[in-house]
Amino acid sequence: MPVNLNLAPGIAIDNIGLAPIAAGIKSDGSPDLLLVQLPDGSTCAGVFTKNVFCAAPVTVAKNHLNESKGAIRAMLINSGNANAGTGEPGIAMAHKHCAATANALGIDTEQVLPFSTGVIGQLLPDDIMLKGIEIASQSMGADWNAAARSIMTTDTEPKLTSRQVSIDGETITITGMAKGAGMIQPNMATMLSYIFTDAAINKAHLQKALEESVATSFNSITVDSDTSTNDACMLVATSEKSALSPAHKEWGVFMQALSAVALDLAQAIVRDAEGATKFITVHVTGGADTEQCKTVAYAIANSPLVKTAMFASDANVGRLLMAIGKTEIEQLKPEDIRVSIGDVCAFEDSGIAHGYTEERGAAVMSEPEITITVDLGLGDASAKVYTSDLSHDYVSVNADYRS
């Protein structure tokens, strides 16, 4: 059961074709292939995993994005098999499936981006993929909910949401979908996420907009500190509506909406994290710089002892102090640090806060949404990281994944 997962509904973007099908990659017959067709004139930007063992489709997608100068016309996404750890045969397979897609849709091979998610270390089933591409290319529709569902792996709910803004009297829509529930500590990208807008934005500006919105959303979440081999986040502008750029006076309005979609999707991944019973915001303030704040926030968010305490609704201040301290950041001085659990100050002046009781802490910790605030007392920077707790179900999901 996801923790308070209530996304604003997804709104269709005109002239984007979606073909989610059950190709037969997953053994249980659930949807596992999504072909996305983009209108001519679309621009595309992307951020990808930094994992050394990045999957074959990641390598091919990066190349195609460069070669086509962002003029992408199709995205081929499969779940159930990650095509990672598959070497040259995996790369050849991803190429072949892009070529088949290009052929079916009458576009160039480098205008197709491949994405895969699922089990690592197995080659994709070639025949099933080719057959799936053929069927999908002939069944383009506009069912966005079904599309979001077809890219799921251990997710329990599809993740799809939208924002609309009015710019120059025109309604601009931003609609995104994402998948991911485990192996989540993205770096410059997340699991798989696809965000679309009908505005017209050139590739360079689109890339900048994506990186800015990802920093505070997909790059600020963690479930288990593990970074996937297949992470990718793409932003597509179909150019159906007016042109936008950072020079436009309403660019900030657009960016705010884009960041909201990205943040909602990133938080949705944490809310639906494997075994999650709590949604936890770690807010670190008073840092010398943002990176320092993120280091402390991730140390707390990734600590198994903090995460099990969250699961137990245990207001264990000691584990929070331990996690802050293990960063070994030399500037940190215990006497300057203030820790709050929700609105309850738990630690200040080098000791447990006056008037703090475990009962007051536990009252906050028993809620499904918990905010831990740490003031480092060093400067003006701040950062937020979102995470889930470590429960028995996390162990069950990950110990029984393939059985």
Question: Looking at 32-40, 82-90, 140-148, 162-170, which segment touches a second copy (CB under 8 A)?
Answer: 82-90
Active site residue 154: no
- Identify the bridge partners of residue 369 per DSSP, sorted by sequence position: 279
- Distance CA(143)–CA(160), nearest Å, equals 11
Q: How far is the CB of 336 from a second copy (least distance, A)?
A: 11
Give DSSP secondary structure letters for 260-325.
Answer: HHHHHHHHHHHHT-TT---EEEEEEEEESSHHHHHHHHHHHHH-HHHHHHHHTT---HHHHHHHHH
Bridge partners, residue 386, by sequence: 221, 281
| Catalytic residue (one of 43, 161, 190, 373) | 190
Does position 9 interact with a second copy (CB under 8 A)? The reply is no
Q: Is 138 in the site for a second copy (CB under 8 A)?
A: no
* DSSP-based three-state secondary structure for 147: helix
Give bridge partners of residue 36 from the DSSP assignment: 18, 75
What is the closest distance, in whole angstroms, from the C-beta atom of residue 120 to a second copy in the complex? 2
Query: Helix, strand or coil for residue 5?
Result: coil
Residue 69 binds a second copy, judged by CB under 8 A: no
Under the binding rule (CB under 8 A), the answer on residue 308 touching a second copy is: yes
DSSP state at residue 79: E
Which segments of 312-391 does DSSP mark as H helices, in order?
317-325, 358-365
Angle (CA) 353 357 361, round 5°: 95
Scanning 132-140, 233-241, 252-260, 386-394 for contacts with a second copy by CB under 8 A, the matching segment is 386-394
Q: Does 63 bind a second copy (CB under 8 A)?
A: no
Measured distance CA(200)–CA(336) in Å, rounded:
48
d(CA 82, CA 55): 7
Among 317, 341, 365, 372, binds a second copy (CB under 8 A): 317
Decide: is 154 part of the binding site for a second copy (CB under 8 A): no
Does 368 help bind a second copy (rule: CB under 8 A)? no
Stretch that binds a second copy, among 10-18, 35-43, 257-265, 348-356 (CB under 8 A): 348-356
Interface region with a second copy, contact rule CB under 8 A, candidates 7-15, 194-202, 247-255, 311-319: 311-319
Distances (CA, A) of 379 to 245, 285, 296, 340, 346: 33, 8, 14, 18, 21
Instruction: Please identify, using beta-carbon distances, which residue of 22 and 92 lies nearer to a second copy.
Output: 92
Residue of the chain from 194, 196, 311, 386 that contacts a second copy (CB under 8 A): 311
Q: How far is the CB of 118 from a second copy (least distance, A)?
A: 9
Which of 183, 221, 276, 385: binder of a second copy (CB under 8 A)? 183
Size, binding site for a second copy by CB under 8 A: 70
Q: How far is CA 156 from CA 173, 251, 253, 269, 370, in A?
A: 26, 35, 32, 10, 22
- What is residue 257's DSSP assignment? H
| Dist. CA 208–CA 255, nearest whole Å | 10
Residue numbers 188-227 binding a second copy by CB under 8 A:
224-227
Residue closer to a second copy by CB (options 155, 264) is 155
One of 15, 145, 154, 187 touching a second copy (CB under 8 A): 187
Q: Does 352 bind a second copy (CB under 8 A)?
A: yes
What crossing angle do the helices spanning 87-105 and 126-137 adopt, rounded to 10°? 20
Q: What element of type H or E holds 396?
A: helix 392-399
The correct pick among 179, 319, 360, 384 for binding a second copy (CB under 8 A) is 319
Report if residue 316 touches a second copy, rule: CB under 8 A.
yes
Contact range with a second copy by CB under 8 A, out of 124-132, 245-253, 316-324, 363-371: 316-324
Instruction: Give, as ranges, the residues between 265 and 304 that touch a second copy (CB under 8 A).
Output: 302-304
Q: CA torsion angle for 210, 216, 222, 226 (degrees, to 10)?
A: 40
Residue numbers of the site for a second copy (CB under 8 A)? 50-54, 82, 84-90, 119-122, 182-183, 185, 187, 224-229, 302-305, 308-309, 311-312, 314, 316-319, 321-329, 332-335, 347, 349-352, 390-392, 394-396, 398-403
Catalytic residue numbers?
A: 190
